[in-house]
Structure 1
């Protein structure tokens, strides 16, 4: 299933009519050559019809990039630029847009060759705000051809996420489980973001599951599962049901996504799921997530949304974990202290029952869900994928709506340490610099639920820009402050 957006970026150069147009023409050509030499020709388009100097040129350029199939836009100030026409271009383009500007090339040509785009970018940003037009502007948006090519390349995952959100539907099944109010948040912000939501009953899913009994595709899916699990296939008797459930979800997606191109799922997994379906859905959730269809546990709608964003930005499988438990002091002393540059409070264990994809685990085994089996027959709790999470860089993050309908987010870079967890489920020993303070003054103070999304790599820069672009107030994007930088709610005499 193709559930990931692609972008085609249209590059439109602009010029103020009292500056030499040739500056913008030459600089656009140099920019395109620098980009294609570094990153290839796929996914980028150079608008050849005009350099935008007027509103008429703006319309011509807009029509051209639309005809070319562009769904993202770069407005390139080859010189000072026409602030009205260039911002009207951004206003009328339906998709993510970026503004960058050309630096001067040489001290030997600062008369006719001086473009003043550094100055023009100020006017462009001012006019964007006058028109309430959102655009991505890099941290330092002025550079030579090579610099600007790199800026466009960094824009690609941001643009992909924004395109994906504009065409996303989240499909959920059932209300949040009892005592899981933390995963219950107003869905109004989904509509504000342009995301559709389809909320279904568990009974609808149960009916669809039974209709897939005996589906001729089940044996092929079972073989896929057997190959993926290898020696970790400890519960072969449950694979038929899991394959039936996987096909149920995939068919539901195809039949219910409607006019939307992309889908994420917020699924139910307890308390009645196990007794009625006869298994837990963790392994299937992991498989769909690895195939680009993120599935959150416990009907965590904003968890599914976060997973989707991370999947698109990283171009890789993500997972959803509980920010779960502390690392015991004796384990820290034996396995971490002196080997890694983290204090005890920088570490914690991220866990979930078994929804992390096999490709993100150091080893895996199909098992039963130990927590659920404390109150239920073990045979109805089978279907988890257990193992220690692969060590390496991670980004822990979440996008959330508060109870009073305010968008909020957090982002933290860290790593999974190569330390045996000695525990159960899909679990890892995580380390984030200044995690203890971040936990108290961002996660607790911000009212975040226990679920956090995990991307495998450091993607904070792109995620920050995505969150900012979609309207999360910058003061509501929390991150782990370095030592010595106080949080507003932190006691100065701590």
Structure 2
């Protein structure tokens, strides 16, 4: 994953001037030792901060060490002014965590009162408008704090990535896809840049890549990836030309930004002009950590990028698409898995999911587009989808969205892809999320989310929820368990 940042952690201990500084320093050393023994890497700032001069010195040390994420460790009560100034001036994601007391025979000269100090730190962070990462229970032993720091890493990676991200778009959304057209102001509030382009710009660049000497090399790589699934080899030259077009555009237009995501027009005029469906290429770029969302879904691309940072793995974007037929549920899911019929649904897209996340894959044509664009003909301009059932296993379905009122909203739901054949087309899987029926109605429908959801392969709800919280999202929906009603849920239903 070259398109996401590397987190370079630093840790600074802070000390209230009426507490022994060595108490905080020694506790910091214990945390670093525990974190390192668990496989982590962290710069241990030698300066323990007690006053503003210490704060300046520590800030310079972590900057010189190349730290882009910081742990502020309250080894004792801590100086709320200096520790929050440090967080404000650091300029990157900051975690606040505090030390637990070690033993009952150390509660005279060895007591740090960091539990109390966290309260003052929190209040002063609010006064300075600093949004820091604070664990669910932000006080612990050295080993517990080390585990909390590991939880912080994917959160920090996403926050850093967003601050250096550019989303490149091509073309307006397709007709009747208003749901993919969200206000972009919140992108700028998040620190994300956007570069919007016409389909004609893309088409002109694509034509300029005709005969590119790199095309045979890309075709060979596609053939290797597809293997026996290379059912339509004649379309590969065009797809290779398109892949090089996007990669060159990203490199040329990256500008001052370090990371790129695409939100591209993919139908219906795309097929008649370019002569293929771009899904397979989209899947290959996403496999490299460069998300490409369909239908100019800008916030879909944003969500995919966040998921890539959090999981350090391939993600995909799917329609929350259709119900599982009752006969399939009865014969293949009921009594085999602990899910009701309404907990299940099918997630689908034309063919944009990377081959590594499909149980098997084949190059196909897009059936729905074929019906409309070239009916009663052998597929030609609708070739280019990568089809197959999505690999079974844990997933997280999520999305960050700007709603119609330009307010950031988000949802997160953990579940799994079941090892049940879909019997359908496209990149598709049978998903199961506890209480999905209620979640669908009272979060997705009630809060007016679009049909696209990002999918990370694993359970990452904890990190995603923390990220959305740090980004200032006030409305974060999730699949509430049975017995916990949604505000809009009819108590008489």
| TM-score of the aligned structures, taking structure 2 as reference length | 0.99
Flag as ranges the 4+ runs of structure 1 deviating above 4 A: none
Q: Which residue of 2 aligns with 1:305?
A: 302
Aligned match of 2:59 in 59, 62, 65?
Answer: 62
Q: Which residue of 2 aligns with 1:457?
A: 458
Q: How far is the alpha carbon of 1:40 from its aligned partner?
A: 3.6
Deviation digits for residues 292-339 of structure 1, max 9, x if unmatched? 100000000000000000001000000000000000101110110110
User: d(CA) in 2 for partners of 1:460 and 1:437?
Assistant: 18
Mapping of residues 34-45 of structure 1, within 5 Å: 34-41=34-41, 44-45=42-43
Deviation digits for residues 390-443 of structure 1, max 9, x if unmatched? 000000000000011000000000000000000000000000000000000000
User: d(CA) in 1 for partners of 2:10 and 2:180?
Assistant: 39
Determine helix, strand or coil for the equivalent of 1:53: coil
Q: Which residue of 2 aligns with 1:477?
A: 476
Q: Which residue of 1 aligns with 2:317?
A: 320
Mapping of residues 80-95 of structure 1, within 5 Å: 80-95=77-92
Q: How far is the alpha carbon of 1:175 from its aligned partner?
A: 0.5
User: d(CA) in 2 for partners of 1:141 and 1:106?
Assistant: 19
User: d(CA) in 2 for partners of 1:438 and 1:25?
Assistant: 47
User: d(CA) in 2 for partners of 1:26 and 1:345?
Assistant: 54
User: d(CA) in 2 for partners of 1:117 and 1:278?
Assistant: 64
Q: Which residue of 1 aligns with 2:291?
A: 294
User: d(CA) in 1 for partners of 2:330 and 2:75?
Assistant: 58
Unaligned runs of 5+ in 2: none
Determine helix, strand or coil for the equivalent of 2:370: helix
Aligned match of 2:228 in 227, 231, 234?
Answer: 231
Q: Which residue of 1 aligns with 2:247?
A: 250
Determine helix, strand or coil for the equivalent of 1:308: helix
Aligned match of 2:107 in 103, 110, 128?
Answer: 110
The alignment status of 1:4 with 2:4, answered yes or no, reads yes
Q: How far is the alpha carbon of 1:39 from its aligned partner?
A: 1.6
The alignment status of 1:21 with 2:32, answered yes or no, reads no
User: d(CA) in 2 for partners of 1:374 and 1:286?
Assistant: 23
Q: Which residue of 2 aligns with 1:266?
A: 263
Mapping of residues 67-146 of structure 1, within 5 Å: 67-146=64-143
User: d(CA) in 1 for partners of 2:7 and 2:38?
Assistant: 17
User: d(CA) in 2 for partners of 1:256 and 1:447?
Assistant: 33
User: d(CA) in 2 for partners of 1:391 and 1:37?
Assistant: 33
Q: Which residue of 2 aligns with 1:490?
A: 489
Determine helix, strand or coil for the equivalent of 2:36: helix
Q: How far is the alpha carbon of 1:209 from its aligned partner?
A: 0.3
User: d(CA) in 2 for partners of 1:40 and 1:415?
Assistant: 29
Deviation digits for residues 104-141 of structure 1, max 9, x if unmatched? 11111110000000110110001101111110000000
User: d(CA) in 2 for partners of 1:115 and 1:216?
Assistant: 66
Unaligned runs of 5+ in 1: none
Mapping of residues 272-287 of structure 1, within 5 Å: 272-287=269-284
